[in-house]
């Protein structure tokens, strides 16, 4: 009888589905490969990679998870890998190699059908196939000014935001076509005489001081201005654009209002300057003098910004505050100084990072590791030191990380 019961127990164990897991993918930039590290139930990193897969191109620098696919930006191409139930990777169709491609960032349309890539001078859009793979060449694009260094990007419904490191810099917004495509069809790789005319952004916040990292959150965009060492928040109009100058019913150029002022109360000095210069809106809030950030992420809870300080080897977090002049306002206001500062590690050169609800994962650069900080429920790190880290992956220089949720246990 005992053997029968034991056999039934084993059968039940076999029949029980595996618990869902998660995996972190990190670029091993110097080794031309991707490393995958399983994550524990508490968010801790496995010490060693469960998979290592070589990239076809050089210097993988950006990774992005979406559509059940891992997208990888390399110095000369964009690759796509289908993510298996347990975290394995299967190569899908990718773009053809282009020696001077030099991609800077990747972002997906919210509908998952279009992948956008920023470059130094133009933007590309790839219409993805049914598996999430890429065509050999981009399907649409935008040609910018020769001085445009398009850096980071974020796509929302109908709009593509990009940071442009011009002189002065700006955050530019381009309207997307209904199918997610960009307004032009030939850019960048064409001979100069065949390139389309330079296309102006549909909306822009100009005169920013070398912007790079930024995050669009609801009615606000939070921007890092590297030259003046601060983070700045700007209020967006209901349609997601900036308050650009426009024309009234009589054809006179005026500064458009920001619509509902519920979360944006400019000072009287700022309002006077805005009316006089007929320019974009003033800053809604800004930090004091801080150091330059290589990357910014928003905690899934939506109320804490976390940034990597490359030169100090540390992590900073900003817990957003309610607008002090409005009762019961949501948390959208930047504090003057970081809410949290991690212990500096002079060996680590943290580059990109990604956050889940319980941990933030940092690509450690010269540390040749990925490190993890445990987070409070509000997104502020618990401790000044990482609670988990991978073993050293010699000469790998991880510069970006992405987390994928799996349908089975990671292995």
For 247, half-sphere exposure in the C-beta direction (CA atoms, 13 angstrom radius) is: 4
Q: For residue 315, is it within any domain? A: yes
CA distance 246 to 272: 17
pLDDT digits (tens, 9 = 90+) for 365-396: 999 999 999 999 999 999 999 999 999 999 99
Q: For residue 12, is it within any domain? A: no
Residue 250, burial from CB neighbour count under 10 angstroms (0-12, 13-18, 19+): exposed
Tokens standing for residue 263: 């979360």
Residue 59: give its domain's CATH number: 2.130.10.10
Residue ranges making up the domain that contains 145: 19-405
Tokens standing for residue 300: 């899934």
Q: For residue 2, is it within any domain? A: no
Q: Are 372 and 340 in contact (CB under 8 A)?
A: no
Q: Could you tell me the pTM of the whole model?
A: 0.88
Q: Are 365 and 348 in contact (CB under 8 A)?
A: yes
Residue 325, burial from CB neighbour count under 10 angstroms (0-12, 13-18, 19+): exposed
pLDDT digits (tens, 9 = 90+) for 21-51: 999 999 999 999 999 999 999 999 999 999 9
User: Per the structure, how many domains does the chain have?
Assistant: 1
Q: What are the 10-residue block averages of pLDDT along the chain, 411 residues in total? A: 40 48 95 97 96 95 96 96 96 90 93 93 92 93 77 94 87 93 71 62 86 92 92 87 59 46 50 49 84 93 95 95 78 94 94 96 96 97 97 95 96 86
Nearby residues of 96 by Cβ (< 8 Å), 6 or more positions away: 77, 136, 137
- What pLDDT is recorded for position 146? 63
Q: For residue 227, is it within any domain? A: yes
Q: For residue 4, is it within any domain? A: no
CA distance 48 to 50: 7
Tokens standing for residue 183: 């307004």
CA distance 32 to 4: 53
Q: For residue 10, is it within any domain? A: no
End-to-end CA distance of the chain: 36
Element (H, E) at 13: helix 2-15
Would you say the C-alpha torsion 236, 341, 357, 108 has a positive or negative sign? positive
């Amino acid at each position: 009888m005992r053997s029968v019961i034991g056999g039934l127990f084993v059968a039940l164990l076999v029949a029980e589905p595996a618990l869902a897991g998660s995996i972190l993918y990190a670029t091993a930039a110097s080794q031309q490969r991707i490393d995958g590290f399983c994550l524990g139930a508490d968010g801790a990193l496995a010490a060693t990679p469960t998979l290592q897969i070589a990239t076809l191109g050089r210097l993988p620098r950006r990774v992005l998870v979406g559509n059940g696919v891992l997208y990888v930006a390399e110095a000369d191409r964009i690759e796509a890998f289908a993510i298996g139930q347990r975290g394995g990777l299967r190569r899908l169709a990718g773009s053809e190699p282009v020696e001077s491609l030099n991609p800077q960032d990747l972002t997906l349309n919210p509908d998952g059908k279009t992948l956008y890539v920023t470059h130094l001078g133009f933007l590309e859009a790839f219409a993805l196939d049914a598996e999430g793979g890429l065509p050999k060449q981009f399907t649409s694009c935008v040609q910018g000014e020769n001085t445009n260094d398009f850096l980071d990007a974020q796509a929302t419904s109908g709009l593509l935001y990009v940071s442009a490191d011009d002189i002065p810099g700006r955050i530019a917004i381009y309207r997307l076509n209904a199918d997610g495509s960009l307004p032009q069809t030939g850019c960048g790789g064409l001979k100069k005489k065949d390139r389309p005319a330079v296309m102006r952004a549909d909306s822009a916040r100009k005169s920013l001081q070398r912007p790079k990292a930024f995050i669009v959150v609801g009615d606000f965009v939070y921007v890092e201005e590297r030259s003046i060492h601060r983070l700045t928040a700007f209020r967006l109009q209901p349609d997601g654009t900036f308050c650009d100058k426009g024309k009234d019913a009589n054809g006179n150029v005026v500064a458009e209002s920001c619509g509902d002022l519920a979360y944006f109360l400019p000072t009287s000095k700022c309002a006077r300057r805005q009316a006089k210069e007929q320019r974009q809106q003033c800053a809604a809030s800004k930090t004091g003098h801080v150091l330059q950030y290589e990357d910014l992420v928003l905690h899934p809870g939506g109320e804490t910004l976390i940034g990597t300080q490359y030169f100090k080897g540390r992590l900073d977090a900003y817990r957003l505050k309610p607008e002090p002049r409005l009762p019961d306002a949501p948390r959208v206001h930047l504090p003057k100084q970081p809410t949290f500062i991690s212990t500096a590690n002079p060996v680590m050169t943290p580059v990109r990072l990604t956050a889940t609800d319980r941990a933030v994962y940092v690509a450690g650069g010269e540390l040749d590791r990925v490190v993890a900080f445990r987070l409070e429920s509000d997104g502020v790190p618990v401790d000044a030191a990482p609670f988990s880290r991978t073993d050293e992956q010699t000469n790998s220089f991880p510069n970006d990380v992405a987390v994928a949720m799996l349908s089975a246990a990671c292995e």
